[in-house]
Structure 1
């Protein structure tokens, strides 16, 4: 029994937007992504958890997003990255298939946290479970806006996110009245063009 995933499901209940993962895609990512993640795909599909606060996604749909965010950075040549999950507000979780590392990008203010390399398949699986622990213990609910955003703007579809207009990097305000429901891929690509991707500074406001 996967205790961590069971706790995660209890914490992030009310899954939405479930999509079954086609066998060819599972076969394509076998050996590129952790076995634990592939198991979640097989058993639960791609879906939004916590009413859409956290999403496990199809990496193929976000290849252009990854390319734009990593263009011109040292990550572009270090590894081949796949976006495996995201939050409703644009926290992106990328897996490096050769290093076995998790790269976290906060797209709304263009900051990243680089993870450690993996030494074994067990280590890789542990990082996937650590990601679930991370989203349960760290706030991915920007300024506690998720519930008010759902009430004001409606539930997210699997290809949507809540984004600030104007963007925070352009001086926008992180308040409910500046949130809109936007197409995730298109908005994330636009955000990637505003400023350089920099290391996360733990003094930054969340």
Structure 2
């Protein structure tokens, strides 16, 4: 049975539009590494895409090599060991620290990181509540991206480029942090692994 926080997440995002079951081996692997409530979501819901691929819960193993590339030469690996637990359609990764249970956001479109640096070394008093809060505070605009005129892009990208599967994302060509424009005309559907690898190399 869903808890109140995940139930609210579903009321906002809708039921999953894509689903992959999380194997018992992964639940065992991450027991004691990531919060129990997150593993409960994996067990009950699986790894899923929501709102036609706007937001995804993911297998951290699929993203480890990508996260390592993006965090290289930053302070974050010295603070904690992070695991990607979710991502957006527009290349934003949400990573969770196993030691302190604090979140960092890797904004691949802009080549930037979002984190409360003062709290990254402060252990969460209630990791389960922190995960529940992350889902309960979700809304579609939070995971969407605005164009240069302040208009949200996802629904227009979905209509133009078609839905995403779990190996795909919407990316800008050229990339925003090398002078690209945040517009529908510059959005393309990309292979997630290839695109994030190329972007990581471009910013190094």
TM-score over 0.5 for the pair: yes
1:123-167 CA-to-partner distances (Å, cap 9, x unmatched) read: 111211222234327622111111111111111001111111111
1:142 to 2:126 alignment: no
Q: SS at the partner of 1:194?
A: helix
Which sections of structure 1, spanning at least 5 residues, go unmatched? Answer: 197-206
1:118 to 2:119 alignment: no
Asked if structure 2 preserves the Cα contact closer than 8 Å seen for 1:93 and 1:103, the reply is: yes
| Aligned counterparts of 2:187 and 2:45: Cα–Cα separation in 1 | 30
Root-mean-square deviation (CA, aligned residues, Å) is 1.6
Task: Find the counterpart in structure 2 of residue 20 from structure 1.
Answer: 21
Asked if structure 2 preserves the Cα contact closer than 8 Å seen for 1:12 and 1:51, the reply is: no
1:193 Cα deviation after fit: 2.5
Task: Find the counterpart in structure 2 of residue 68 from structure 1.
Answer: 69
1:16 Cα deviation after fit: 2.1
Task: Find the counterpart in structure 1 of residue 149 from structure 2.
Answer: none
Change (3 A) 1:189 1:135: farther
Task: Find the counterpart in structure 1 of residue 183 from structure 2.
Answer: 175
- Aligned pair count reads 194
| Aligned counterparts of 1:173 and 1:19: Cα–Cα separation in 2 | 34
| Aligned counterparts of 2:81 and 2:91: Cα–Cα separation in 1 | 20
1:14 Cα deviation after fit: 4.3
| Aligned counterparts of 1:125 and 1:63: Cα–Cα separation in 2 | 22
Task: Find the counterpart in structure 2 of residue 154 from structure 1.
Answer: 162
Report 1:36-75 matches (<5 A): 36-75=37-76
| Aligned counterparts of 2:103 and 2:12: Cα–Cα separation in 1 | 22
| Aligned counterparts of 1:50 and 1:126: Cα–Cα separation in 2 | 24
> TM-score normalised to the size of structure 2?
0.89
Asked if structure 1 preserves the Cα contact closer than 8 Å seen for 2:99 and 2:123, the reply is: no
